[in-house]
Amino acid sequence: MNPELATPADDPKRLSVKNPPPLKGFAPVFTWGSRLAFRPRRFLLIAAVAVGLGALVGISGVDERSPFAQKDKWFYLWELLDKQTLQYLLPLCALLFVTPGFSNEVSQRTLVYHLVRPVSRSTVFLARFASGVLPAVLVGTLLLWSVLWTSGLSVPTTVWMAVPAVAALSALLLGSLYYMLASIFRKGMIAALVYTFVIETMFIAARGSVQTLSMSYHVRSLYRALVNDEFAERSRYVADAIDPDGLLFRPGVENLAEAAVTMLQKPTYSSGPTAVITAIVLSAAFLAYGVWRTKRRDFPLKD
Amino acid sequence: MSETPSIALTNVSKWYGEVMGLNDVSVEFGPGVSGLLGPNGAGKSTMLKVITGMLRPNLGTALVCGRKPFDNPGVMRRVGLVPEQDAFYPHAAILDVITYLTRLQGYDKAESRRRAMNNLERVGLGHVMDRSAAGFSKGMRQRAKLAQALAHDPDVLVLDEPLNGLDPTGRREYAALIRALGDEGKCVLVSSHILHEVALVARRLVVLHNGRVLAEGTAREIREDLSEYPLTVHVQTQDGEALAPLIVSLEGVGRIEHAPTGLIVRTTQPNRLFDEIGAMAAEGKVTVEALDPVDEDLEAVFRYLTQ
């Protein structure tokens, strides 16, 4: 050790114990969190897995052995995106990038260094959330694009352009929910997985307004608002459904036709603006609760 | 607001469920190095976490520089902490980590980096500042933790088991640095369960056990307060054979051992023993050359207090 290199005495202003302004220190925590989230090896691995999963979903849609693909590839692609991808795969991006932001600081005990700095707990909490959203949006977009690309269909530009918005809403809404769960439960990732695969499934399976309790309902609302017209134009079943010649009731296609009609019944889902506003309000509420808990909580940070 | 770097705990209790971490603790620390001593589970880390705002006391008040530290980021401008746990970001160079942590103190990036480099050099890690702490030895990690705690020149410094894992040379250097910080007028609080570590750096001691303050003061002051605790006394005499039967029946006297230079006597009432032997010597019954307490060192004090 070299005592000659002592840091010079500080200026008196810096020794003030006044609380810093709100969100002071947000930028460095956000930058640091982004650096951790975009760690090349981890980020590329997750992105590659996401693209691979998306490709599997897309290829399954064009597989000629699939009875769905033989009948109506457009409708099947729409459904693949709406159900499997938006409900189960896209939330995984938020789970992997947003959820660990703060809980990793707690579990790895590096939070201790933030607690003894003149940065409020809420700033650290919110900045680490924000730093996880962008990589979740990027990987979510890649995932959805890979589904579109491998479907083999000539997907219109509007649908390609809608994907980042849907991925962003998913990262924001589900990310904030998972983030809040991670501030409540010690095993936040497991709580988030249980929520996604059990509770969300129950909400979606329910009928009527109970569905609106599902978070992916709002993401799917935006998706439907942005892409339904494009898919409806190209879907044979949708055409059948609205065809006055009675093809709707052709034997063997009732269920799909019914689904196609449902697809067009936008009033059963929220409109695009309503979905976005609802998602933002819910996200703000989840984050506010997380901040409230974090500010009150003890952090023993034991080994 | 207190300009003087200080820590004050008043009737502080902290419990975790049914486990008592701190039990009605009142203690103050001012400028200079103070030692917090106690066995594992005594409540040392709980006290340090209350002081650094990680835990909120269930009862009582903790003040650092006159302010409550829990969720009070302003007061943390003046606080530096060396935590007990080895927590570092494994995927980043230690220079980058400390630069980041120093930025949180309000410095710009260039100044933070300069301070981080300066302090890594100061603690002897200048040659490895581009490496991740994941590959560091325990001693190197201790130094890195000190570097991050010193980078913003805090005037309240809290060190939890700081000498763990250091080699003897590193231990001496680290202790010298802590003493120098105390001499600069900083309020330095060092916790340890190992006596000679605390003895290396601190003049004032606070002994904790089962969440309570058992004693505080210098080692000598603490020992003087412990008249009811057994003390081992070396009676230097040529008349050991004659003296032993005379003192064996005295109140408080326990074991008596013969030594080449006299007797080793264990007593719970040392003052009475000194008076009686003095009287016997004055009456000419025995010749006594000296009476020396032999266990006034920290180890004995600690042992007495925590038994």
pLDDT at residue A70, rounded to an integer: 64
Q: How confident is the model over A107-119, as pLDDT tens digits?
A: 899 999 999 999 9
Q: How confident is the model over B95-113, as pLDDT tens digits?
A: 999 999 999 999 999 999 9
Nearest residue, CB atoms, A301 vs list B65, B85, B88: B85
Q: How confident is the model over A130-177, as pLDDT tens digits?
A: 999 999 999 999 999 999 999 888 899 999 999 999 999 999 999 999
Q: Indicate yes or no: CB of B52 within 8 angstroms of CB of A115.
A: yes
Q: Which of residues 189-228 of A touch B (CB under 8 A)?
A: none
Nearest Cα residue to B198 out of B207, B187, B185: B207
Q: Taking 70 as the threshold, does the pLDDT of residue A93 lie above it?
A: yes
Q: Indicate yes or no: CB of A1 within 8 angstroms of CB of B71.
A: no
CA of B105, closest CA in chain A: separation in Å? 6
Contact list in A for residue B174 (CB cut-off 8 A) is 1
Count of other CB atoms within 10 angstroms of residue A227? 22
Contact list in B for residue A19 (CB cut-off 8 A) is 72-74
Average pLDDT of the residues in A229-251? 64
A18 to chain B, any CB pair closer than 8 A? The answer is yes
**pTM value > 0.90:** no
Taking every pair of Cα atoms in chain A, the longest distance, rounded to a whole number of angstroms, is 93
Q: Taking 80 as the threshold, does the pLDDT of residue B206 lie above it?
A: yes
Q: Indicate yes or no: CB of A112 within 8 angstroms of CB of B87.
A: yes
Contact list in A for residue B116 (CB cut-off 8 A) is none
Average pLDDT, chain B: 88
Q: Are A94 and A169 in contact (CB under 8 A)?
A: no
Q: Taking 80 as the threshold, does the pLDDT of residue A12 lie above it?
A: no
DSSP per position, A40-92: HHHHHHHHHHHHHHHHHHHHHHH-TTSHHHHH-HHHHHHHHIIIIIIIIIHHH
Q: Between A and B, how many CB-CB pairs are < 8 A?
A: 138
Residue with the larger pLDDT of the pair B165 and A200: A200
pLDDT at residue A249, rounded to an integer: 45
Q: Indicate yes or no: CB of A116 within 8 angstroms of CB of B72.
A: no
Q: How confident is the model over B43-84, as pLDDT tens digits?
A: 999 999 999 999 999 999 999 999 999 989 989 999 999 999
Q: Indicate yes or no: CB of B92 within 8 angstroms of CB of A35.
A: yes
Q: Taking 60 as the threshold, does the pLDDT of residue A266 lie above it?
A: no
Q: Indicate yes or no: CB of A300 within 8 angstroms of CB of B105.
A: no
Q: For the range B1-4, what are the long-range contacts, defined as Cβ-Cβ under 8 Å and sequence gap of 24 or more? A: B1/A17, B1/B65, B1/B66, B1/B67, B2/B63, B2/B65, B2/B66, B3/B65, B4/B30, B4/B31, B4/B65, B4/B187
Contact list in A for residue B92 (CB cut-off 8 A) is 35
Q: How confident is the model over B221-248, as pLDDT tens digits?
A: 776 666 566 778 888 888 888 899 888 8
Q: Indicate yes or no: CB of A39 within 8 angstroms of CB of B91.
A: yes
pLDDT at residue B171, rounded to an integer: 84
